[in-house]
Amino acid sequence: MRARCVTHAHAGSGNLSPLFYSFGLIDLQRLQQDEALHGSSGSSSDRDFFSWLHQTVAEAVRTAEQHETLKLSIRKLRLNLEETFLLSAVQVPS
d(CA 12, CA 15): 8
* Confidence (pLDDT) at 5: 37
Q: Quickly state the pLDDT bin for 14 (edges 50, 70, 90).
A: confident
Could you tell me the sign of the dihedral formed by the alpha carbons of 10, 16, 17, 23, in that order? positive
Q: What is the pLDDT of residue 4?
A: 38
* CB proximity list for 43: less than 8 A, separation 6 or greater: 9
pTM for this prediction: 0.65
